[in-house]
Copies of this chain bind each other. A is one copy, B any other.
Amino acid sequence: MSQQYVVINGNYVPVQDAKIHINDLSIQRGYGIFDYFRTKDGQPVFLEDHLDRFYQSASVMNLPVTQSREALKQLITGLIEKNNLPHSGIRITLTGGYSDNGYNLSSPNLLITQSAYNFSTEAFEKGISLVTYDHQRQLPQVKTIDYLQSIYLQPFINEHAADDVLYHDRGELRECPRSNFFIVTRDREIITPAEKILKGITRKKILGLEGLGAKEGNISLDDLRDIREAFIASTTKVVLPVLKIDGKAVGDGKPGEITRDIYERLIGLRGGVE
């Protein structure tokens, strides 16, 4: 493979030299935000949505972005050209920066990394299993780098033969650590939790699908007892059917027709499978 690059604060740096000083508040205090989007045939997918959210996350967390939106786009375009990875995931991270006292915010470090990603349709047919867990994420509306609880829970997930965890806040369903959660009711209503979650870009696209009627609402753990379908939505996975929750089959335990329809429409929005 040819030399790969990342961006650190506006400079293209060979990936093996991509280091930051340990004074950075991401390392010292877990402080930072990011966003992540895909590229298909060298073109970013839903870039404007992701940049909107990136600047919004930075603003809420009091992190100034010195690069203008245009400058950021040019850095991304340059990185795509340099790395020559047509199908990829690109992550833009903004850290708390080099603090003078290990606590106060400083000038953030901006990191842009790219990795090859080949989308597979097999994952859809296989579906996933979830295990529920009582946890409310802190600052849920912001795409922070905080994944402490979910990585900590990996052994718990494995013990329950699940693929991921589904958080609920004392019975009110929220989200998975890296995706939004949807149900399809017996009455064919498509509902995703409204509050105290990260509002994903794929979630937004689903809520906007014409004629589908997907909506935000409250879902409790009890509501899961009798549903037709369930699925997760994320930039990485697009849509994956949830076939089991806490060991119990969802619907008939196979990918549902409404989930499949949404998946195919989203793939269409993205310009097909890469």
Binds B, one of A38-46, A120-128, A138-146, A202-210: A138-146
The interface bits of chain A over 72-99 (1 if a CB of B lies within 8 angstroms of the residue's CB, else 0) are 0000000000000000000101011000
How long is the Cα–Cα vector from A32 to B151 in the complex, in angstroms? 11
A27 within 8 A of B: yes
Chain A contact surface mostly = mixed
The answer for the CA separation of A96 and B152 in the assembled complex, in Å, is: 11
Chain A contact-residue range equals 35 or more
B22 close to A22 (CB less than 8 A)? no
Question: Does B138 lie within 8 Å of A30, measured CB to CB?
Answer: no
Copies in the complex: 2
Q: A30: which B residues are within 8 A, CB to CB?
A: 26, 30-32, 144-148
Given contacts A28-B93, A30-B147, 16 further A-B contacts (CB under 8 A): A18-B21, A19-B20, A19-B22, A22-B93, A27-B27, A27-B111, A29-B145, A29-B151, A30-B144, A30-B145, A31-B151, A62-B154, A103-B151, A139-B148, A139-B149, A146-B146
* Contact partners of A152 in chain B: CB under 8 A: 61-62, 139
Question: Residue A175 at the B interface, CB < 8 A?
Answer: no
CA A84 to CA B27, docked complex, whole Å = 25
